[in-house]
Amino acid sequence: MDKVRELLTKIFRAALGWEVRWAIRRSPWMLHFGMRCCALEIPLAVAASRFDQERWGVIPPSSPRQVDILVVNGTVTKKMAHSIKILYDQMPEPKFVMAVGECAICGGPFKDSYSVVPGVDKVIPVDIYVPGCPPRPEAFIKAIEDFRRGIWGISE
């Protein structure tokens, strides 16, 4: 039964793979998983009227089973690392991770603490990095535009 499933998956990807990649690039669904200050600033800033992310085709879903990009922003503690890994495992393929802010990338000013993971890439693989403390909304939108252009692994 598994071999039949693998064969059908290969046939589906060969026949409709470019359409699926095109659809993901045109309207990525993002799930914000944030702790601390960046978790409030970035989603609100890019969803506000000046940087309206829905106008750019970025749709915020309600479930990790529907997302294309997991946005991790803020300090990742050892206690939260397990929850991030669970969310990542629930995402369908192809899945991408965006680390937003200094805290998510390298631990930030809290990196010497006993409870802080020095970067979310120690827990799950990260595809897109948006630096800054806090990162500018323009940098976040630029990362989304680069993703849509195919720079981050999805090409037509």
pLDDT tens column, 64-93: 777 888 888 888 888 888 988 998 988 888
Does residue 62 lie in a domain region? yes
Task: Tell me the average pLDDT across 102-123.
Answer: 85
Q: Average pLDDT of 27-40?
A: 73
- CATH code where residue 141 lies: 3.40.50.12280
Look at residue 128 and tell me if it is in a domain: yes
Q: Total structural domains in the chain?
A: 1
Residue 13 lies in a domain: no
- What's the pLDDT at 62? 65
- Measured CA distances, 29 to 65, 89, 115, 143 (Å): 10, 16, 30, 14
Spatial separation of the C-alpha atoms in residues 19 and 80, rounded to whole Å: 35
Residues 101-129, mean pLDDT to the nearest whole number: 86
Note if the pTM is more than 0.85. no
Which run of H or of E encompasses 32? Answer: strand 30-34
pLDDT at 148: 76
Burial class (CB within 10 angstroms; exposed 0-12, middle 13-18, buried 19+) of 7: exposed
Check whether 40 has a pLDDT greater than 60. Answer: yes
Q: Could you tell me the two tokens for 77?
A: 């503690």
| Maximum pairwise Cα distance, the chain | 51
Domain-embedded: residue 52: yes
Helix axes 2-26, 137-149, angle to 10 degrees: 130
Assess if residue 3 is contained within a domain. no
Would you say residue 20 has pLDDT above 50?
Answer: yes
Residue 4 within a domain: no
Residue 130, in any domain of the structure: yes
Q: What is the pLDDT at residue 53?
A: 65
Is 138 among the domain residues?
yes
- φ, ψ of residue 29 to 5 degrees: the values are -100, 130
Q: Which of 35, 106, 83, 30 is nearest to 61 (CA)?
A: 30
Average pLDDT over residues 116-122: 88
How does the average pLDDT of the chain come out, rounded? 78
**pLDDT above 70 for 52:** no
CB-based burial, 41-59: b 16+ in 10 Å, e otherwise: bbbebbeeeebebeeeebe
Domain that holds residue 100: 27-149
